[in-house]
Amino acid sequence: MKRSSALSGYAAALGTVAIWAGFIIIARLGGKTDLTSWDLVALRLGTAALVLLPLAPRMPRDVWRDLQLWRLALIGGVLFTVLVYGAFKFAPAAHGAILLSGLQPFLIALVAWVLLGVRPLRSSWGGLGLIALGVACVAAPQLAHPAAFSPQQWLGDGLLLAASLSWAVYSVMAKNAGRDPWLLTRMMVLGSALIYLPIYLLFLPKQLDSVPMSMLLLQGLYHGIGPSIVAMLLFLKAVNSLGAQRTGAIIALVPVVAGLAATPLLDEALSAWLLAGLVLVSVGAWWAARAKPKPD
């Protein structure tokens, strides 16, 4: 591997970490405003669709008739965003860091096993076990003292789990679809916008006039361009330069970066249980990403 290629790959991977960690922080920031979760979904999908709309004519015509691609857009675009922005109205950012980013390797392995019959690699079991232990650290205080936590926080965590599961299903289905990742990204954005925005405009509650224009721009531009487009391009660049394993190991930094950043940026408490959960899921995700098939 050339040094320049490796450096650009590491830079792209770290850029992906920064954007995905920022997604959790800014989504939670939006959740603390008077904007509805429906507004946040519309800002993300609407902005991303406007950016990618000029590229729509260049997409193969058959994609618009491919029901599998529309299902992917519904699961990875509409369902995931509705669940995750709904969750951040109630759940703290550190919980999102653990239950979204940190739990992904565990859920993807589980979904691939259930849907495709692909058993997890034996060398990844230790990492998956650490992820499960990290999630248990988050749940322990709530299970031990359920009355001390509001029903809204329980709802938020439940929505985070559902969002994480929907993204894991999308990830497995997208990989199995055999399509180019950049085509999948464009279809997810444009297809999701076509499904969601008419419903939002006609039927769903709106509070866009309840926050300053600066907040609307922050939520729309960051979510619509950052995680939806730029992070995907950086991720693909990192995989191309470093390979999937190294990239996956670096991406394992997302939970701990987002969780630690939430304390100074959002003034959210970081308990010993949460800190332990962040460390465990990050190490577990790194372990799972580094797993390799053992030779027979």
Distance, CA of 240 to CA of 48 (rounded, Å):
24
Cβ-Cβ contacts under 8 Å for 211 (sequence gap 6 or more): 33, 34, 35
Whether 67 has a pLDDT exceeding 50, the answer reads yes
In this structure, of 75-79, 133-137, 177-181, the range with the lowest mean pLDDT score is 177-181
- The pTM score is 0.90
pLDDT of res. 105 = 87
CA torsion through residues 250, 262, 165, 19, sign: negative
pLDDT tens digits, 222-279: 999 999 889 888 887 887 888 767 788 888 889 999 999 999 999 998 888 899 999 9
Q: Which residue has the higher pLDDT, 172 or 197?
A: 197
Give the residue among 285, 250, 232, 263 at the shortest CA–CA distance from 24: 263
141-156: average pLDDT: 78
In this structure, of 2-6, 25-29, 114-118, 136-140, the range with the lowest mean pLDDT score is 2-6
For residue 102, name the pLDDT band (cuts at 50, 70, 90): confident
Query: H helices within the chain, ranges in order?
Result: 3-31, 37-52, 67-72, 80-87, 93-96, 104-116, 125-144, 151-177, 181-203, 213-225, 231-242, 244-251, 254-266, 272-290
Give the residue among 24, 14, 17, 32 at the shortest CA–CA distance from 99: 24
Q: Are 167 and 76 in contact (CB under 8 A)?
A: yes
Cβ-Cβ contacts under 8 Å for 194 (sequence gap 6 or more): none
145-162: average pLDDT: 84
pLDDT of res. 296 = 46
Rg of the chain on CA atoms, in Å? 19
Whether 12 has a pLDDT exceeding 70, the answer reads yes
27-54: average pLDDT: 96
53-67: average pLDDT: 90
Give the residue among 223, 79, 222 at the shortest CA–CA distance from 163: 79
Whether 107 has a pLDDT exceeding 50, the answer reads yes
42-53: average pLDDT: 96
